[in-house]
Structure 1
Amino acid sequence: MSDHTTVTVPAHILVASRETIPTDNMTGYFDGAFTRALRAVRSVGAEPAGPARAYYFSPLTDSVDIAGGFPVAEEHAEALTAAHPDLVHRIPEHEALVRRHTGPYDGLTAAWQELSDHVRSLGRPTGPVFWEEYVTMPTPEADPAEMITDLYATLA
């Protein structure tokens, strides 16, 4: 992936806990949201169809409308909707600009700013949602400098 790549993101299903939270509580939110989503997916005999993601439905101000969870295959949608209707979100197909960030999470703010600046330079309005895909998840033994996070800005 180059610095910025425009992609068509297919429609997909996200199993996630969507909440409006104070931005200073994001770490605590993610700990619980990812655990809850993974348990829900596995409760119907499924596994995530990709890495963990955090979808942002509002700008980060004092609070944020956020959904943290995992994509799942369409074949599990019915069972998940029956068992966990509050956690199933259908994301429509859309065009997005993607930027890969390698390094610690404290560098994500600058990476997002750079992506936003690039979108503006293209003269393209953004869509209603942005998300992070955690290509590598942190573990106690992981080197933060090697964390890979893909940033997606939907385009209108």
Structure 2
Amino acid sequence: MSDYRTVTVPAHHVLASRETISADAMVDYFDRAFTQAARTLAAAGLRPTGAARAYYFSPPTDTVDLAGGFVVPGDGLDAVTRAIDPASGLAVHLIPESRAMVTSHHGGYDGLPQAWQELVDHAHAQGEELSAPCWEEYVTMPTPEADPADMVTDLYQPLV
């Protein structure tokens, strides 16, 4: 049984590359998007303030509208905006304050679709209406030597 909690997520800015891609291109997309965002933060003299995130503006089907990147530190917005290479596809996106249902998924990414479905089912069972975008926060980033069983991904589902 998963632990679900409802939280208020403050408005925040995300440095990310928003694209509509084929679902089977997600691994390559994330590798590129997270690397570009981290490099741009570094060029602005900043470090990510938290884990990498993926924001989903549409449900993953054959294609998905998503943005992968990092939350911009509150005092770094101007520096990041100046450091963005226009050819990179990166932009700063404002994610408005929201009430969200949150849970943590422990295990490999192949278990994320089921974890999302359970979160959505739980929210509906509580009488909640869903909003977008939802997002994943990769508490533990994958490495070639990592055991998928040790992975932790927090799932955020905004509510109306």
Q: Deviations over 1:48-73 (max 9, x none)?
A: 01000000001112111100011121
Q: Deviations over 1:74-99 (max 9, x none)?
A: 11101112232742111111110001
Q: 2: CA distance between counterparts of 1:82 and 1:52? A: 21
TM-score w.r.t. the length of structure 2 is 0.93
**Gaps spanning 5+ residues in structure 1: where?**
none
Q: 2: CA distance between counterparts of 1:155 and 1:125? A: 6
Q: Deviations over 1:99-136 (max 9, x none)?
A: 10001110001100100100110111111211000000
Q: Equivalent residue for 1:114?
A: 118
The one of 89, 94, 101 aligned to 2:98: 94
Amino-acid identity (%) = 59
Q: What number of residue pairs does the alignment pair up?
A: 155
**Gaps spanning 5+ residues in structure 2: where?**
none
TM-score w.r.t. the length of structure 1 is 0.95
Q: Equivalent residue for 1:83?
A: 83
1:129 paired to 2:126: no
Q: 2: CA distance between counterparts of 1:139 and 1:22? A: 23
**What amino acid sits opposite 2:129 in the alignment?**
P
Q: 2: CA distance between counterparts of 1:141 and 1:31? A: 16
Segments of 4+ in structure 1 off by > 6 A?
none
Q: 2: CA distance between counterparts of 1:82 and 1:125? A: 38
RMSD over aligned CA atoms reads 1.2
Conservation of the 8 A alpha-carbon contact between 1:37 and 1:87:
no
